[in-house]
Amino acid sequence: TINRPEVRNAFRPQTVKEMITAFSDARFDENIGVIVLTGEGEKAFCSGGDQKVRGDYGGYKDDSGVHHLNVLDFQRDIRSCPKPVVAMVAGYAI
For residues 6 and 39, the answer to whether their CB atoms sit within 8 Å is no
pLDDT in tens, 39-82: 999 888 888 888 887 765 566 666 676 666 678 888 999 999 99
Distances (CA, A) of 14 to 31, 68, 90: 27, 11, 23
pLDDT in tens, 26-38: 999 999 999 999 9
Structural domains for the chain: 5-93 (3.90.226.10)
Long-range contacts, 50-57 (Cβ 8 Å, 24+): 50/4, 50/7, 50/10, 50/11, 50/12, 50/15, 51/10, 52/7, 53/10, 53/12, 53/13
